[in-house]
Structure formats: structure tokens, C-alpha cells
Amino acid sequence: MELNRRTVIAGAAAAGLAATGLGTGTAQASTSGGRAPVKEHFGTLADGTRIYRWSLENGGTRLKVLNYGGVVQSLELPDRHGRYADVVAGFDDIADYVAESPYFGALIGRYGNRIGKGRFTLDGTSYQLSVNDGVNSLHGGAQGFDKHVWDVEPFTHGHDVGLRLYYTSADGEMGYPGTLRTTVTYTLTRHGDWRIDYEATTDRATVVNLTSHVYWNLAGEGGGTIEDHELTIAASRYTPTDPGLIPTGELAGVAGTPFDFRCAKPIGRDIRAGHEQQVQAKGYDHNWVLDKGITARPEHIATLRDPRSGRTLRIATDQPGLQFYSGNFLDGTLTGTGGRTYRQGDALCLETQHFPDSPNQADFPSTVLRPGRTYRTTTVHAFGV
């Protein structure tokens, strides 16, 4: 008999199974009434700034978040037997996030993904951004939103618990025009879903593309390759790139290529197929053009499942694109929270977004935000077994 998530959570609580990692409680049988966020000191930056971690628990999901970069430092889920594991890559030490993190668990802005040559033109004015990926700008530049300390406000609302994170990016920061005031809300629902709501306003026309850069391994962080994870993406097209991973402008069909994930398949099945796009990216590192397009509310667009543990992640978003990155540049030099090193393909990212390089691609959906308008987008992560 296949067990559902609520049965597994209740069974874990009845058995008194202890939390893994830094958690100290047992699994919750209830799917409502989550615990209020708990704050603790996590570390100190070189300039003396204290970094804090908030721990949230609701509906059987345990989430730990830093005010540095809005980083999801840990996310624990039960497997089909009720055994918990941390399923996101991360570090135990703030110094590692500062010195060497490849965006583990971070909030990304102002612009998620790449902008070609770090340049774009808006309303007749050209802007030069911080260049930090060869000749291109990646994830907001050398000091993107992932490298700033956010203000954090914990909340409980009905059966939900969460955090509101605030950051104001000054006009000209990393070359972007306009003062951008950003609020990102992390919510754990009574059913254990993790919801992200992004909002931003500006006083000058600018471009915005916010996302979350969690690295997933549903078998448990440091648990080995994700190539046996089964992935489904509701997309008939993707955006091929040049050797610098900047989209060429083409919306190419996935049919008959390794990029076809319309039906569930193991990630490793075609990852070494030798397609020229895979060769230059060292695997998958592309934007999928979601069939649903931009929608008024989040719609289901991707499912990730680990057959060994039974853990399943379902993603819903209102965004038009999904960047699937197969951990191609993890090279064994980073040691995670469980004391194990992360090697190529030991974790993956599924980043809901607008398309890379949209400010330079007239045929891509616009990422322009103007004064008087509010940027809003939502992504929901639903977990199951």
C-alpha cells in the first residue's frame, strides 16, 4: 500500500523519531498549528554584523532560514517510512556562505540568471552591470541580493507560519537603475507546503527577475547523485544558449532531444547524450519555456521524485520559465552540513523565473518594472511521499 504524506508524518510522530541535523523535536502528527519561528545566532560577518537563523516547522516540514541572503540553510522532510532528512545543500558556517557558496539556498536578484555582457538598454539609456561570469552578469552581479543581510519579520497567521524578508537596493547598485524595495515572504502552510511570494517597487524604470536558488537532493543532502531522480517539466520548448550560456533567442522544441521532460524520466537517462547544448553546459543548465506561459496564479509545472526515499516535490508558479541546473559545476571542493562533499550532479536547481537575458531579447516576455507598478510573483513547493 502506498502511504500518503499525512500518514507518514503521523506514523513518524507516533514512533518518536528524532529530527536530523540541528532539529530537536519529533515529527508533527498535525497538519495545522505550526510552531512560531524560533530565532538563534548563526555567526558573525567580518564587519561584526550578527547573522541569525530562524527555524520554522509546520505540516511535517522543517525549514531553517538565514537573514544573510535569505538563504534556506536546511529543509527537512520525511521519507515514505517517516525518516527525516535535510534535502537541500548548504553549510554549517556563515564563513562558507560568504567565501565560496555557489548560491546555495539563496534569494537571487535583481536579476536571476544571466544578462549578456552585463549590458542592456532601457528607454534609450544604456546600463553597464557588474560582470561576474566571464563577460556576462550572473544573478545580479558580484554583490547580488544573495550577499546582503535582509531584515526579517517572523509571523504566524491562522494555521500558517513564516518570515517576511526585506531588502532595499539603492539606485545604481551593481549598475541597475532605480531604488528597488523588495519584500519576499516565506510561508509554511498547514500541509507543509513552502510558498514564496515576491514583491518589489521602484522609483525609476528598471528590470527585475527574482528567484530562489535552492539545490535539491530528495534522497538527502550529500546523499549522492541526483541522476536517478525522476523529473517532469510541462514545457514543449526551451531556450538554447551560446557557449557563454546566453540564450540565442530561439525557442527550440524539446521533442526528440534530451531536453524532453514532458513525461517523467530519470535525469541521468539522457544527461550524457552528447547534444551540443549539453556539451557546452556540462549537463543541463537551461531555461524551459513553460507551456502555460505567464498566469494569474501559480499552476503546477514540474515534479521531482526520488524513487529511493519516495519523497516528491511538486512546483507551481505563475512565471513563464523554469531554469533546470543539474549541479554541473559542483566539483568536490565544498563540504555540506552533513560533512560530505558535493560532487558534480549531487544536487539540482529548479528556478522559477522569466527568461535569461530578457532585457536584450525583444521577443521574450518583458522584465521591465516601472514606478507606480508592483512586481509580484509566487512559487509554491508542495512535498509528498
* Contact yes or no for 305/230 (Cβ under 8 A): yes
Measured CA to CA, the distance from residue 299 to residue 302 in angstroms comes to 9
* Contact yes or no for 187/89 (Cβ under 8 A): no
pLDDT in tens, 276-320: 999 999 999 999 999 999 999 999 999 999 999 999 999 999 999
What percentage of the chain has pLDDT greater than the value 90?
Answer: 90
pLDDT in tens, 267-279: 999 999 999 999 9
pLDDT in tens, 21-51: 323 233 333 344 577 899 999 999 999 999 9
Joined together, the cell numbers standing for residue 130 give: 557588474
The mean predicted confidence, pLDDT, of the chain is 92
pLDDT in tens, 240-274: 999 999 999 999 999 999 999 999 999 999 999 99
* Contact yes or no for 131/117 (Cβ under 8 A): yes
Q: What are the strands of the beta sheet with 252-253, ordered from one edge?
A: 252-253, 235-239, 285-290, 321-325, 349-353
Phi then psi for residue 105, to 5 deg, are 70, 10
Other CB atoms within a 10 A radius of the CB of residue 372 amount to 8
Measured CA to CA, the distance from residue 339 to residue 336 in angstroms comes to 5
Measured CA to CA, the distance from residue 263 to residue 260 in angstroms comes to 8
Measured CA to CA, the distance from residue 54 to residue 188 in angstroms comes to 13
Annotated catalytic residue within 139, 213, 229, 354: 213
What's the pLDDT at 87?
98
* Contact yes or no for 347/216 (Cβ under 8 A): yes
Phi then psi for residue 174, to 5 deg, are 55, 20
Whether 148 is catalytic is no
Query: Where residue 233 falls among pLDDT bands split at 50, 70, 90?
Result: very high
Cβ neighbors of 190 (< 8 A, separation 6 or more) are 31, 32, 33, 34, 58, 59, 159, 160
Annotated catalytic residue within 173, 191, 351, 354: 351
309, containing H or E segment:
none
Measured CA to CA, the distance from residue 245 to residue 264 in angstroms comes to 25
pLDDT in tens, 175-184: 999 999 999 9
Q: Classify residue 276 by its DSSP letter.
A: H
What's the pLDDT at 35?
78
Measured CA to CA, the distance from residue 103 to residue 139 in angstroms comes to 9
* Contact yes or no for 19/26 (Cβ under 8 A): yes
Whether 275 is catalytic is no
What's the pLDDT at 8?
47
Provide the whole-model pTM: 0.91
pLDDT in tens, 327-370: 999 999 999 999 999 999 999 999 999 999 999 999 999 999 99
